[in-house]
């Protein structure tokens, strides 16, 4: 049973309650698989179990410290009980209190804390080892703690996920591919599959990792107390992408861009019919508006870098603070991407466009190395920044990111 030790607010400060930062982190977490083999044979295709993917892995947080995070209003947290007071697969949403944990049953419940990487630098460090995939696809790190028999039921997700066993043991059962047509149990507030067709079953130990592609049914059950780290990937829906595309088209269109049929002929068909030719003209008009490579990059760049929790965005600093900070440093110090920041960029014929928190910034072609550095990782050593070529636009980008508190000085030894 969890006993709360972390107090509210502790997680916002240097993480004294965390294990000492590992100096030598693993650079390869796919076991015997190469990155090429994983991408070719498994990514978005089928599951794969990787034994000892992270040798000697230790959880970043003890169970009671994780529970301490769930007391915080800023964090998204849930507790799922297989046999809850309101029926099977009952769910409670945080923030919780210490009394909440004192009232829970002895078994069959799970605590889930979302976006831990947004608040704890060490958790953000962990995501670095998944950057063999597009960095703008990485969503967040969710940590779950479960007592014996704890589970969130048989379900499926619409995104890729790596399930890293951090502590204890969890049994994973794998089932069928699912979709909108899959039957969901009526009654529970969470989506539980009505039918689960088991195909495989494994027990994961600390350091083991299971990759699951989207829409694959899975069912995890804790064997004793355990912690599981879920690394999820953003997968915007067609509707989200269409909305982003429409927003961009509305920004760039004008009244002169209209449907036209200068090639119309009466031979097309009856005058009251919307003919195949008419639909073809509309298709061409929409494709011209929406299918330009630059605009497609904007759609993904703006959408995929939007803040997961925009309400927690830090206030922008005053330019005088930048001048004072620069005056304190003869050269640029070690920098770090803010835990809540998301970056990406695209190449254009005339330059580059950099994306941060759903906004875009114009850069010169000579800023390509800077854009690559900022978007590829979250730690920027002083020596790397010093050797990167940078135009005035690139310098202003660094300045703007610092003022928006999307990058900050890394003072950790």
Query: Taking the model in full, what pTM does it have?
Result: 0.89
The pLDDT tens digits for 247-256 are: 888 888 888 8
CATH 3.40.366.30 range(s) for the chain read: 310-409
Select the more confidently predicted residue: 288 or 143: 143
Q: What is the mean pLDDT of residues 67-88?
A: 95
Reply yes or no on whether the pLDDT at 23 is more than 70.
no
Contact at 8 Å (CB) between 66 and 162?
no
Q: Which of 157-166, 210-219, 262-271 has the lowest mean pLDDT?
A: 262-271
Q: What is the mean pLDDT of residues 197-205?
A: 97
**So what's the pLDDT on residue 292?**
82
CA 357, CA 348: separation in Å to the nearest integer? 20
Q: What is the mean pLDDT of residues 154-171?
A: 98
Q: Are strands 335-337 and 379-380 parallel, antiparallel or unpaired?
A: antiparallel
Reply yes or no on whether the pLDDT at 175 is more than 80.
yes
CA 328, CA 361: separation in Å to the nearest integer? 27
Q: Which fold has domain 10-233?
A: Jelly Rolls (2.60.120)
The pLDDT tens digits for 324-348 are: 998 888 788 999 999 999 999 999 9
CA 124, CA 115: separation in Å to the nearest integer? 10
Q: Which two tokens stand for residue 158?
A: 């619409």
CATH 2.60.120.650 range(s) for the chain read: 10-233
- Give me the DSSP letters along 121-155: HHHHHHHGGGTTS-GGGEEEEEEEEE-TT----SB
**So what's the pLDDT on residue 19?**
38
Reply yes or no on whether the pLDDT at 394 is more than 90.
yes
Reply yes or no on whether the pLDDT at 16 is more than 70.
no
Main-chain dihedrals φ then ψ at residue 8, nearest 5 degrees = -60, 135
Q: Which of 52-56, 191-195, 329-333 has the lowest mean pLDDT?
A: 329-333
Tell whether omega for the bond before 290 is within 30 degrees of 0, i.e. cis.
Answer: no
Main-chain dihedrals φ then ψ at residue 68, nearest 5 degrees = -60, -35
Select the highest-mean-pLDDT range: 256-270, 356-370, 380-394.
Answer: 356-370
Reply yes or no on whether the pLDDT at 413 is more than 80.
no
**So what's the pLDDT on residue 412?**
63
Pick the CATH number of 310-409 from 1.10.10.10, 3.40.120.10, 3.40.50.920, 3.40.366.30: 3.40.366.30
**So what's the pLDDT on residue 9?**
41
Q: Which two tokens stand for residue 316?
A: 């922008």
Q: What is the mean pLDDT of residues 191-195?
A: 97
**So what's the pLDDT on residue 288?**
84
**So what's the pLDDT on residue 393?**
96
- Give me the DSSP letters along 204-263: E-TT-EEEE-TTEEEEEEEEEEEEEEEEEE----HHHHHHHHHHHHHHH--TT-----TT
Give how far the C-alpha of residue 5 lies from the chain's centroid of Cα atoms, to the nearest Å. 28
């Amino acid at each position: 049973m969890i006993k709360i030790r972390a107090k509210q607010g502790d997680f916002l400060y240097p993480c004294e309650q965390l294990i000492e930062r590992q100096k030598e982190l693993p650079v390869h977490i796919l076991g015997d698989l190469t990155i090429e083999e994983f991408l070719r044979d498994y990514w978005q295709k089928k599951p794969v179990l990787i034994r000892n993917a992270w040798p000697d892995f230790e959880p970043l947080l003890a169970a009671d410290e994780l529970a301490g995070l769930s007391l915080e209003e800023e964090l998204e947290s849930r507790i799922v009980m297989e046999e809850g007071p309101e029926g099977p697969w009952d769910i409670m949403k945080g923030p919780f209190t210490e009394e909440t944990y004192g009232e829970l049953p002895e078994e069959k419940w799970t605590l889930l804390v979302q976006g831990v990487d947004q608040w704890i630098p060490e958790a953000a460090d962990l995501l670095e080892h998944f950057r063999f995939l597009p960095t703008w696809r990485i969503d967040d790190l969710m940590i779950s703690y479960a007592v014996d028999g704890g589970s969130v039921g048989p379900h499926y997700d619409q995104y890729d996920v790596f399930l890293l066993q951090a502590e204890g043991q969890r049994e994973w059962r794998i089932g069928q591919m699912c979709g909108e047509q899959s039957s969901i149990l009526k009654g529970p507030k969470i989506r539980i599959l009505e039918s689960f067709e088991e195909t495989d079953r494994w027990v994961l130990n600390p350091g083991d990792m299971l990759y699951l592609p989207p829409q694959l049914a899975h069912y995890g059950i804790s064997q004793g107390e355990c912690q599981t780290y879920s690394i999820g990937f953003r997968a915007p829906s067609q509707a989200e992408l269409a909305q982003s595309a429409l927003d961009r088209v509305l920004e760039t269109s004008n009244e002169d861009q209209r449907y036209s049929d200068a090639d119309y002929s009466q031979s097309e068909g009856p005058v009251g019919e919307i003919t195949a030719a008419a639909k073809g003209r509309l298709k061409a008009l929409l494709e011209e508006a929406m299918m330009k490579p630059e605009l497609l990059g904007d759609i993904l760049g703006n959408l995929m870098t939007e803040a997961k929790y925009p309400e927690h965005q830090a206030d922008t600093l005053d330019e005088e603070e930048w001048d004072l900070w620069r005056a304190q440093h003869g050269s640029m110090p070690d920098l770090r991407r803010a835990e809540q920041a998301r970056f990406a960029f695209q190449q254009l014929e005339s330059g580059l466009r950099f994306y941060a928190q759903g906004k875009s910034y114009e850069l010169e072609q000579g800023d390509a190395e800077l854009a690559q550095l900022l978007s590829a990782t979250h730690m920027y050593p002083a020596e790397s920044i010093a050797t990167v070529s940078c135009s005035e636009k690139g310098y202003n980008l660094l300045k703007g990111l610092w003022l928006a508190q999307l990058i900050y000085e890394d003072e950790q030894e």
